[in-house]
């Protein structure tokens, strides 16, 4: 009987890596991270001009491999040309990204947020409940 892990792969095996040297290539990043497990994807984020933004995504085969890389590398060293030590953390899930976008939009609306006017002191709570309802309706 095949292992259940073949059917269920947790989402949190993709890492965000920040504070890289902007001269580092995908191969350089792979070399730094391959000691912790099998890397399925390695992508340096680049601007419209093609230059590195100094951050990358690294996707491992398993959650345990990703966690090992975080434990070993987060804050462990400062890359030449970087302003602070290496940041290694789990990448946001789609749900987290959607929530952050909605919170940013609500913040930009400020006092023009109809929930804040309609519910006064309870506006923040009503807004959070509304966001949850929207996410549920979208199946997120």
Arithmetic mean of pLDDT, 4-29 = 82
Confidence of residue 39 (pLDDT cuts 50, 70, 90): very high
The ranges assigned to domains in the chain are: 4-90, 94-138
**Residue 13 to residue 9: CA distance in whole angstroms:** 8
pLDDT in tens, 47-99: 999 999 999 999 999 999 999 999 999 999 999 888 899 999 999 887 788 88
CATH number of 4-90: 3.30.70.330
Contact predicate 99/131, CB 8 Å: yes
pLDDT band (50, 70, 90) for residue 113: low
Name the 3-class secondary structure at 37.
coil
The whole-chain average pLDDT of the chain stands at 82
């Amino acid at each position: 009987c095949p292992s259940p892990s073949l059917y269920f792969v947790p989402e949190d095996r993709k890492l965000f890596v920040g504070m890289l040297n902007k001269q580092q290539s995908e191969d350089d990043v792979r070399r730094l991270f391959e000691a912790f497990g099998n890397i399925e994807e390695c992508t340096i984020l680049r601007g419209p001009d093609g230059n590195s933004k100094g951050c990358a995504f690294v996707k491992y085969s398993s959650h345990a491999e990703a966690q090992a890389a975080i434990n070993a590398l987060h804050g462990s060293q400062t890359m030449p040309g970087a302003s602070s030590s290496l940041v290694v953390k789990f990448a946001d899930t789609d749900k987290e990204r959607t929530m952050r976008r909605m919170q940013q939009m609500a913040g930009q609306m400020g006092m023009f947020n109809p929930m804040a006017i309609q519910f006064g002191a309870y506006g923040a709570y009503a807004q959070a409940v509304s966001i949850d309802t929207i996410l549920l309706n979208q199946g997120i």
